[in-house]
Amino acid sequence: TQLLEQSPQFLSIQEGENLTVYCNSSSVFSSLQWYRQEPGEGPVLLVTVVTGGEVKKLKRLTFQFGDARKDSSLHITAAQPGDTGLYLCAGVSGTYKYIFGTGTRLKVLA
């Protein structure tokens, strides 16, 4: 069974602080995605990384795919209350399978 472990599980920070969320696995994935989920809603895609070592930036969010394509990180600079939510990584395995991580619940306090 392929597993994606995320850390930390919970994170509560003040507005303006920086943070990093990690997504780790012993398996190699074709690509890795990050989703954000708000209460009462389904997850929504933030980014897809495909190449080992790839770095993508989305405004204040920076995503990195590990060289071996087994792990990824999400860094948020100067967090804002609007960043509050559940962050999920998802490894794409084989042709059609998404393997989701355990999730990181972020709360940014104003």
Partner 1 sequence: NAGVTQTPKFQVLKTGQSMTLQCAQDMNHEYMSWYRQDPGMGLRLIHYSVGAGITDQGEVPNGYNVSRSTTEDFPLRLLSAAPSQTSVYFCASSPRQVINTEAFFGQGTRLTVV
**Interaction site with partner 1 (CB under 8 A):** 1, 4, 6, 9, 30-31, 33, 35, 40-45, 48, 50, 88, 90, 92, 95-103
* Two structure tokens written together for 100: 């989701």
State the minimum distance, in angstroms, from the CB of residue 38 to partner 1: 11
Contact 85, 38 (CB under 8 A): yes
Nearest CB to partner 1, comparing residues 14 and 95 = 95
Burial class (CB in 10 A: 0-12, 13-18, 19+), 65: buried
Nearest CB to partner 1, comparing residues 11 and 90 = 90
Distance CA 49, CA 56 (A): 7
Measured in whole angstroms, the distance separating CA 67 from the mean position of its chain's CA atoms is 16
CA distances for 34 relative to 85, 100, 109, angstroms: 12, 9, 22
State the minimum distance, in angstroms, from the CB of residue 15 to partner 1: 26
State the minimum distance, in angstroms, from the CB of residue 32 to partner 1: 10
Nearest CB to partner 1, comparing residues 17 and 32 = 32
Measured in whole angstroms, the distance separating CA 100 from the mean position of its chain's CA atoms is 10
State the minimum distance, in angstroms, from the CB of residue 59 to partner 1: 18
Nearest CB to partner 1, comparing residues 9 and 80 = 9
